[in-house]
Every structure is written in C-alpha cells, then in structure tokens.
Amino acid sequence: MIEANGSPALTFRRVSKIYDQVSGDGRFALRDVSFSIPSGEKIAVMGRSGSGKSTLLHLAAGIDVPSRGEVLISDRNLGTLSERARTLLRRREIGLIFQFFYLLPHLSVGDNVALPEWIAGSSPSEFKGRVSELLERVGLLDRQNDNIEKLSGGETQRVAICRALLRKPRLLLADEPTGNLDDENSELVMNLMLELASSEGSTLVYVTHSQELASLADQVWHLHSGALEAS
C-alpha cells in the first residue's frame, strides 16, 4: 500500500474494477490498488493507454464504484452511498478537470465558472465575488462576459480550472488536463493548476503522459495493467 503521513483526503483499500464479468472471467481495469493521500498532496499518475488511469479517477470521484475493495473520501466509504449521495458529495468536495474542458459554448466565461453554484441552487450574491476572484487569479477577469468560444485552448482550460475550484473542493482530480494544449500552454496551465491547488489547500491527483509535467508533483505513481507502483 502506498501511504503518506497526514489525514487522508483519498484512500483506496484493495480496490479492483472488473468489466465484462457476465460474459466471462472479466477484464481488470484496476487490480488490488491501495493507497492513502494526505490533504494538500499533489500526485501525478502515469501509464499507457488502457492501464487504468481514467478508471482510477472515476472511482475517486464516485462516478463509478469498485467491483472489490473500498474508496474513501475523508473517511466516507463511497461504496456504501447511494448514487444521489455520491453526486452530492462530489459537488461539495470534489473538483473535476478534463482534457476536453466540457464547458458550455452558449454561456459566458463567468457563467461557465459559476455553473456548479447554479446547479446547487445558490444565489448569485453568494458566488459572484468568488467567480471574479478566481478569474482574476488566472488573468481572465476582463473576459468574464465573453462567449467561451472566443477563448484559446489555454484560456479555456484556465476557465475549467476555475470552475473546478469554485466550491473550494478538498479533492481536485484532473484527467490529462493539458492533453489538448501545445507545450507552452501545457506548462503554463499545469503550473497555474498546481499553484491554485496549493493556495486553495486542495489535494490534487492528475493523470498525464508527460514525464516533465509529472515531475512537478510531490509523488509520481505508475499504473501497469491496472497495478499501481510509486516512483
């Protein structure tokens, strides 16, 4: 088991994820994975396509549940929660950043950042200042009324990072967050994400194919055919 000191933000206990169990012996996407990540730690996860990286993030986010073992967020076992309870926990405590951004093209920059609070039913007075604060920190405050389609790829990913951090999540999960960016923007966005995660006190787990970007984390873990190893 990979462990670190401090109160864990995310824990996997002998987690396996198996697909196609009905049609045969099943395919292991993850196999007996165990680790404990303390609050504030930054972990990079590397591995070839199909090694289980996205599956690990989906389980950590409660989007999926393990076939075996336990996934705990702040000592709460996600496998014992209903789908609705997992969704509510994800809204409160988890921020998600994806390679393809998943922003809404018909909304402005500011409204895309504010979307998690709109979904939660909050009033604009409760989050307007937070939206402006985050956009200022990523250099996009003057673009908050612009349509999202007017932004470059690097700017769009900065908006996605702001959206993920809006509700001050304890855990930030990023799946190839720079995968669609050129080298210059990849480095800029990654450094910005790491800086914001540190200042916000979020634990960060990110998947990347880049050894250079992975080296910016506190630890680098490798997945091989669903099995986890630390560097």
The sign of the torsion formed by the CA atoms of 16, 20, 21, 26 equals negative
Confidence band of 110 (pLDDT split at 50, 70, 90): very high
Looking at residue 98, its pLDDT comes to 84
**CATH number corresponding to 8-230:** 3.40.50.300
Confidence band of 4 (pLDDT split at 50, 70, 90): low
Please write the tens of the pLDDT for every residue from 54-98: 999 999 999 999 999 999 998 899 999 999 999 999 988 999 998
Look at residue 99 and tell me whether its pLDDT is greater than 90: no
Say which residues have a Cβ less than 8 Å from residue 112's Cβ, sequence separation at least 6. Answer: 103, 104, 148, 159, 163
d(CA 127, CA 222): 38
| DSSP percent split of the chain into helix, strand, coil, nearest 5 | 40, 30, 35
Please write the tens of the pLDDT for every residue from 152-164: 988 998 999 999 9
Please write the tens of the pLDDT for every residue from 17-49: 998 755 556 688 899 999 999 999 999 999 888
